[in-house]
Amino acid sequence: MAWDRASAAGARVREVPFTGSTNADLAAAVAAGRADHLDVLLTRDQRSGRGRLDRVWQAPPGASLAVSVALRVADVPPGARGWIPLLAGAAMARAVRAQLPGRAVGVKWPNDVLVDGRKICGILAEGTVDPATVVVGSGVNTAMTADQLPVPTATSFAVAGAACDDDRLLADYVAALDRGLGALARADGDAVASGALDAVTGVCVTIGQEVAVSLPDGGSLRGTATAIDPEGRLVVSGADGVRAVSAGDVVHVRPAAQPR
C-alpha cells in the first residue's frame, strides 16, 4: 500500500512481506549506516518478534502490524532516554484512540496500549551499535480475530469492531513521537518542562490502580500506583512505604478505569 500520510508526517517507510524481527533488521541497518531518523521498517508478517522481558511476540500473517522506527537521540541527554519508550506508548495510545471513538484507550505503565482494559499493542525500545540511535518497535493487533488472540487479556481493532487505517495510525504515531522527542531534546531532557511527564501521565491508566509488580531482581511489590515521577518511574505506595519502580512487570489487580 502507499504510505502517503506517514510519509507526509516525516516517515521514510519500507514495507517487507515478512521478516523475523523488524527491530533486529532496522538495528542492522543502523549498524551498516543505512538508517536515519524516522526511517520505518514494517511488516504484516513478523515471525520472531520479541516483547519486553524477552517474551515471544507472534501473530498470524496479516493479523497485525509490526513497526520499527529509528530515532536519532543525540540531543537527548542519556539520563533522559528512559522517556523514549514512555513517549512511544503515549503516542501510540493517542493514535489508536483516534480510530476508536467511544472506546476507553490508555497505557499500562510503562507502554502497553490497552483498549477497554485489554492489550492491543506492545512496545520495545532498544539501543543500537550507534549510541545516538534508538530503535523503537511496536506490534499492533489490527485484523486479528477473537479466535486468533494469543491470550484472553488481548484485543484488536477487528475485535473492537473497527477496520484499522494503517497509514493514518502510522502517521499519527510517528508525528506524535517525533514531537515528543523533539520537545524533550529542546528541554535538555527535562520531562516536566518538555511536557513529557504530562503527556505520559495523561494516558496512563495504571495511576490509581492497585498493582502487583514483579521486579527484575526476582522480588515483588504490591500497592497502589500513585504517580509517575520526573524520572519516568512508577510510584507505588504499599505496606512497606512508597517506592519508585524503574523497571518491572506490572499487573493491574483490578480492572483499569481508562481515559476516554
Q: How far is CA 190 from CA 94, 184, 232, 234, in A?
A: 22, 6, 11, 17
CA-nearest of 236, 239, 6, 207 to 107 is 207
Helices 83-99 and 196-203: crossing angle, nearest 10°? 50
* Threshold 0.85, pTM exceeds: yes
Are 98 and 172 in contact by the 8 Å Cβ rule? The answer is: yes
Q: How would you list the strands of the sheet with 241-245, edge to edge?
A: 241-245, 234-238, 220-228, 210-214, 249-252
pLDDT at 228 over 50: yes
Average pLDDT, rounded, for the chain: 94
Please report the pLDDT score of residue 239 as a whole number: 87
- What torsion, rounded to 10 degrees, do the Cα atoms 219, 225, 228, 231 define? -20
Q: Rounded mean pLDDT of 179-196?
A: 98
> Cβ-count burial of 243 within 10 angstroms (0-12 exposed, 13-18 middle, 19+ buried)?
middle
* pLDDT per residue as tens digits for the range 24-60: 999 999 999 999 999 999 999 998 866 555 566 667 8
Are 67 and 45 in contact by the 8 Å Cβ rule? The answer is: no
Q: Rounded mean pLDDT of 49-74?
A: 82
Helices of type H across the chain: 4-8, 22-31, 83-99, 166-186, 191-194, 196-203
Q: Rounded mean pLDDT of 16-29?
A: 97
- What torsion, rounded to 10 degrees, do the Cα atoms 184, 189, 194, 197 define? 100
* Calpha distance 256→260 (Å, rounded): 12
Kindly state the helix (H) or strand (E) to which residue 82 belongs, with its residue range: none
Please report the pLDDT score of residue 59 as a whole number: 77
* Calpha distance 178→155 (Å, rounded): 27
The residues near 140 (Cβ < 8 Å, ≥ 6 apart) are 64, 65, 66, 67, 92, 96, 113, 120, 121, 157, 164, 169
Q: Rounded mean pLDDT of 6-33?
A: 97
Strands 39-43 and 12-15 come out as parallel
Kindly state the helix (H) or strand (E) to which residue 21 belongs, with its residue range: none
* Calpha distance 144→119 (Å, rounded): 12
Going along the chain from its start, the domains and CATH numbers come out as: 4-202 (3.30.930.10), 207-252 (2.30.30.100)
Read off the C-alpha cell for 112.
502497553
